[in-house]
Amino acid sequence: MKIMKFGGTSVASAERINHVAKLITATSEPKVIVLSAMAGTTNQLVDIAAELVQRDSIVAKDLIEELKEKYLMETQKLFPKAECFHAVWKKLDQTFFFLENMCKVSNFTLFDEKRVLAQGELMSVAMMLQHLEDLGHKACWLPALDYMRTDKKAEPDETYIELHLRRLMQRSPQDVQLFVTEGYICKNAYGDIDNLQRGGSDYTASLIGAALKAEEIQIWTDIDGMHNNDPRVVEETVPVRRLHFEEAAELAYFGAKILHPTCIQPAKKNNIPVRLLNTMEPDKPGTLISNDTDKDQIKAVAAKDGLTMIKVKSSHMLVSWVFMRRLLQVFEHYQISIDMITSSEVGVSVCVEIWDELPELLADLRKLGEVSVEEHMTIICVVGDMEWENVGFETQVLEALRDIPVRMISYGASDYNLSVLVRQSDKRNALISLSNHLFASSKQ
């Protein structure tokens, strides 16, 4: 059993949906297909919901009509035969009827918003199922709202998911080898429609793969895997062919947008490889993420912008262990995650994302000692086999940055990551220099 997840750009049009249908039917092995909403749909639904929250039903109706026209055009292209078109449009029209009725709701709530946001994935699945049928392929619908559930902590209820997913599949006809389901959407512990948020459809695919003990989870996007640097900044980047789960998670957390760090955890826990592939170049090998990796290599670089460094110099009234405890309690109080931390006998420097409560936080920190702040900073994360016995990797990184001021360095907390903090204005030069020093051979 393989899990194949296709993102919004992969199903962005009638042409793309037809292309995906050919990809998933190219082999006869059992598969579960996880679909995102058509590109742009979720953003449009978010805008519709925002207007309904503001009780502006007129603007909301205009946005719904705009979305309806888009789907009507793509549906007509995908289903040129009148009979097939009417079969699928009857289902899609029910969705738009639902959205239009939401404009009449006098008190539009968060629960209503989640119901609205779920419609994009439901429409993608309806279109794909009808298209597969028209092509002569048997496929079975696995309604995500019947098995994908979160618990009272808003975390996936993996026991529930496995039990109900397997029951659904057992009830399907025995000769069906192709199953189609929605990504992103779920129900919460109270039975209300919700979504997985972090990682969205990728998370769905990973959870399904874990529940079914799949052979492989494939994430299909418009990029041929994780690249060894940011292609928006550095020219001639190349895909990294093999990554450890920890390496992929570090890259995802520090800026590689192709994957969310949370979504691969179920696959990692169950030792199921995840392969990142390009829908438009399906013959490319992409990136394979697993618990195995190429040793003794630096793999890739990623960067995370919009950060603030806060340095707190301890007052002499506090001993070191009291100071550290109280410092971390302040961040806990504001529920702020620390991306990077270094310490000395008299002070601590932390790096955090910019947020609205900065003045209040700084006021509390000043009760502990002298505080200084530096904004507009960037963390650059160098990922690879960074075990401390591998002599020389740290030297290579620092040599590449010899002409760039480095504000903080973090090394040793992970066997896969060395991070440095630089000014955001130095990010471009830092990424280019690291690429030239670390990956020169891959460009040849």
The total number of residues shown for the chain amounts to 444
DSSP state of 299: E
41 assigned binding-site residue: no
Distance CA 406, CA 94 (A): 57
308 assigned binding-site residue: no
Run of H or E including 341:
strand 340-343
Give burial (CB, 10 Å; 0-12/13-18/19+) of 39. Answer: middle
With contact defined as beta carbons under 8 Å apart, do 424 and 378 qualify? yes
Run of H or E including 182:
strand 178-182
* Phi/psi-derived region of residue 358, left when phi > 0, alpha when psi is between -120 and 50, beta in every other case: alpha
Distance CA 256, CA 229 (A): 9
- Amino acid identity at 98: F
232 assigned binding-site residue: yes
Query: Rg of the Cα trace of the chain?
Result: 24
Considering only the C-alpha atoms of the chain, give the largest distance between any 2 of them, rounded to a whole number of Å.
81
Q: Tokens 């189609």 sit at which residue?
A: 180
222 assigned binding-site residue: yes
Distance CA 7, CA 279 (A): 9
With contact defined as beta carbons under 8 Å apart, do 183 and 121 qualify? yes
- Amino acid identity at 231: P
Residues with Cβ within 8 Å of 175's Cβ and at least 6 positions away in sequence, in order, are 138
Residues with Cβ within 8 Å of 429's Cβ and at least 6 positions away in sequence, in order, are 403, 404
Distance CA 270, CA 208 (A): 11
5 assigned binding-site residue: yes
Beta pairing, strands 216-221 & 274-278: parallel
User: Residue 327, CB half-sphere, CA atoms under 13 Å: how many?
Assistant: 26
With contact defined as beta carbons under 8 Å apart, do 297 and 305 qualify? no
With contact defined as beta carbons under 8 Å apart, do 415 and 386 qualify? yes
With contact defined as beta carbons under 8 Å apart, do 321 and 336 qualify? no
Q: Binding-site residues, please?
A: 5-8, 42, 121, 221-222, 232
Q: Binding-site residues for ATP, please?
A: 5-8, 221-222, 232
Q: Binding-site residues for substrate, please?
A: 42, 121
